[in-house]
Amino acid sequence: MLRVHFSAADLARTTVADAPVPIWETVLSLHRLQRGDGGLLLAPWRRQVRGRLPRDWALLAALVPPRGYFPDFLTPAAPSTDFGESVECVASTPRDVVRRDLAHLSMRRSSFAEALWDGSAGAFGRLADALTDYQRVALTPHWSRIKQQVRTGRTRLATRLTGEGVDGLLTALPPAMRWRHPVLEVDYPVDRDLVLGGRGLVLVPSFFCHETGVTLLHDDHTPVLVHPVEHRLSADRVDFGALARLLGHSRAAVLQSVEIPGTTGEVARRAGVLPSSASQHLAALRDARLVHTTRLGRAAWHTLTPLGVALLSGDGGPTAK
């Protein structure tokens, strides 16, 4: 677990990034590409990208393993919406910082990582080119969708911040991140404490971040916490009126609400029905193999099945645009 410790000064200096940060999305998408997770909505993206991967993408995969730590210098501490600026920052990383970060890689270092370690001529130029080529293939064609969903997540957080202050903002983060004043608890692969010490925190909503938060190992500058946004199906989907005529208005609303996996109570709230009614509709949808339900402790957790995704998308499956 990661425990982020806030003081009054940190709460006052906590901000939310204005837009998706391209370098973070680029690096985190490498996790999603290699691991095959992220749900049904990323499956079409993964198929498209795998068929067009640039030659040097393996250099990036050698630095960003399927899971776990990747070198901090790949995601500069100051979040920038200018991808080229971030790549230049990566390429000019001081040699001592590169070695510090590469030393934490749990996997055996590749020959390319060794070249970066040694400061070999041209190694950082190849890294910059590999990042740029991969970003052009993996993110540029989908950037409007990424921006839209990150903007939606940021607006939700900003609304909570305006109405309820930083306490409301931190409470609105994903379930894997729990605000227990003055500590934000984050599900994390290692046990760690991050003491902000008056520097504040930059929250970065991310399309390719999955399930829980991600931060830098070293917090030399203003600490950053990247967190996932809620994924929604593309706008190219079946008309709700047609769906309501097929299923009934309430049941259609419940099915649509399961676009975002959640408990029965959460689905009921999004659909605008009572929990008892939502439970009945979910049972019918489950019988029709449109919804899958698992138990998490005392709660029931509902997700769309591939058939449910296909019905909502209106084209036989989800799309990535």
pLDDT attached to residue 238: 62
Would you kindly state where each structural domain of the chain is located, as residue ranges?
Answer: 2-18+144-228, 23-141, 240-313
Instruction: Select from 204, 309, 209, 205 the least CA-distant residue to 261.
Output: 309
Distances (CA, A) of 243 to 48, 256, 265, 312: 29, 9, 22, 8
Task: Return the pLDDT at 232.
Answer: 61
Answer yes or no: are the C-beta atoms of 311 and 256 closer than 8 Å.
Answer: no
End-to-end CA distance of the chain: 34
Q: pTM of the prediction?
A: 0.73
Q: Which fold has domain 240-313?
A: Arc Repressor Mutant, subunit A (1.10.10)
> Which residue, among 189, 212, 188, 215, has the nearest Cα to 201 in the 3D structure?
215
**pLDDT for res 314:** 61
* H or E element, residue 143: helix 143-171
Closest CA to 123 of 98, 96, 86: 98
Under 8 Å between Cβ of 62 and 174: no
Q: CA-CA distances (angstroms) from residue 283 to 131, 142, 302?
A: 46, 35, 10
pLDDT along the chain (321 residues), means of 10: 96 92 96 81 82 91 90 88 93 93 82 90 93 95 87 85 89 91 94 95 94 88 89 58 85 86 85 88 94 84 84 53 34
Give the pLDDT of residue 191: 94
* Residues counted in the chain: 321
